[in-house]
Structure 1
């Protein structure tokens, strides 16, 4: 696969940052995993959309990308496959919060309540996202939730080590 790998950069993508933190914290993978990717000619850049396009367009054979993009687009006929690695995947969430400075906190609370409700999660699933609500079925193309192995992730440690990890990543990839 030398020279045929696409991946987003944690320097520009939050999802790629979470993925980097989960992989490098895994004792079986660690930074050696990224060093191996660099040796194979991976050239991380941009976000997940660019990575997906590089693979779907045939420029690259393989890519590290958030699950919903290739799963959703394959259903529309794109020439891609998504593989959930046996070692596990990082969990990239779509967080939501109400700021203390919100001008209309009641409306904000109603919106958040909708997002996490069964109807809100059905909307997320209709957009191709894996819903968090256990009563809402995963979109077509996803395996059953209990077949998706999640890697350990400690957000507090990731935040604490964020700058050091990004510097290490830059050293490995020459960015």
Structure 2
């Protein structure tokens, strides 16, 4: 299954929202101790700042509540913010954590950093994307995909499965994945441990390494190498892949392992959670309700932060996909072992 281009949509009032976003500042958290800025909410997020600030501005415009954002640096994406939340847990500064993925959110739940909140706005989201104790809720996100250079391969030659990376049908050095110890490729590893079993998944990653598949620093690097014609294809995420499509690169986005009897592909949803705080800010629940609403899901699609909504009936940038038959807890449950074993394999 493939997608040729991103749907083009117009976001009403985008110029107004951009101006509002700029007024929110550069991401420094203004809240000090127990004296927050009047009528505000502090949101720590791993989401790219240019997207997050549009959302903060939209929320502020609709509610009058000021969002004080705390952002990760690119070098410590997600993990830096998670470490900060753990360090601050005895004296929390954040009210809400909005994560562009899910594994680190589940880690915070495990560490007791989050508080339960079952948002009424989560109605319509599948139960597999909602924590049974209300500690987090997942919503729209991105999907794992294979980006192909169309100048180098004809359609009848396109890969259709992750197994094509190790099948011998393609020169391995002309394909690539990101190092599977960080980000969504690490999550992919944990998911395959759950889907195929630990031994089979580790064997596949060993075959990837031994066959000469290029191991690069991130999904964006995979995209750039495919777009530049240095690779036939590579494994990446829809947000990175669509960046190449929008720049007019000779590429096509494919979704592996689709159809009857196939494994499906991995979906990486966003998650949002209430941070445990003795002095709970009522604006925190208002922000979570806003973020989980169908209207905001559509807004996130329109601005390009997400490509795959989780609500049925919402049209995304990508088609409706066959996805892994695993819930988020199952994937997270394999993460520690998969990262440990893949570290031994790839850092030798």
Superposition TM-score tier, normalisation by shorter sequence: 0.7 to 0.9
So what's the TM-score if we normalise by structure 2?
0.43
More strand by share: 2
- The 3 A distance-change label for structure 1 pair 51 and 121 is same
Partner of 1:166: 339
- Contact in 2 for aligned 1:124/1:130 (Cα 8 Å): no
Distance in 2, Cα, partners of 1:53 & 1:103: 46
Choose from 26, 45, 53 the match for 2:195: 26
- Contact in 1 for aligned 2:177/2:222 (Cα 8 Å): yes
Q: Which has the larger radius of gyration?
A: 2
**Worse-matched range after superposition: 121-130 or 164-173:** 164-173
CA shift, 1:120, in A, is: 0.7
Distance in 2, Cα, partners of 1:83 & 1:18: 19
What do residues 87-140 of structure 1 show as CA deviations (whole Å, max 9, x unaligned)? 31112111111211397733222222222212211112121521223342112x
CA shift, 1:158, in A, is: 4.1
So what's the TM-score if we normalise by structure 1?
0.80
Q: Does 1:63 align with 2:63?
A: no
Q: Does 1:3 align with 2:150?
A: no
- Contact in 2 for aligned 1:43/1:173 (Cα 8 Å): no
Alignment of 1:1-175 (within 5 A): 1-13=171-183, 15-27=184-196, 30-71=201-242, 73-86=244-257, 87-101=263-277, 105-126=281-302, 127=304, 128-139=306-317, 142-143=318-319, 145=320, 148-175=321-348
Q: Secondary structure at the match of 2:220?
A: helix
Distance in 2, Cα, partners of 1:44 & 1:55: 13
CA shift, 1:64, in A, is: 1.0
- Contact in 1 for aligned 2:227/2:244 (Cα 8 Å): no
- Contact in 2 for aligned 1:124/1:131 (Cα 8 Å): no
- Contact in 2 for aligned 1:90/1:150 (Cα 8 Å): yes
Partner of 2:137: none
Distance in 1, Cα, partners of 2:247 & 2:232: 19
Structure 2, unmatched stretches of 5+, are 1-170, 258-262
- The 3 A distance-change label for structure 1 pair 88 and 37 is same
Distance in 1, Cα, partners of 2:279 & 2:234: 41
More helix by share: 1
Structure 1, unmatched stretches of 5+, are none
CA shift, 1:155, in A, is: 3.9
- Contact in 2 for aligned 1:22/1:152 (Cα 8 Å): no
- The 3 A distance-change label for structure 1 pair 170 and 99 is same
Aligned pairs, number: 169
Q: Secondary structure at the match of 1:64?
A: strand
RMSD, matched Cα: 2.6
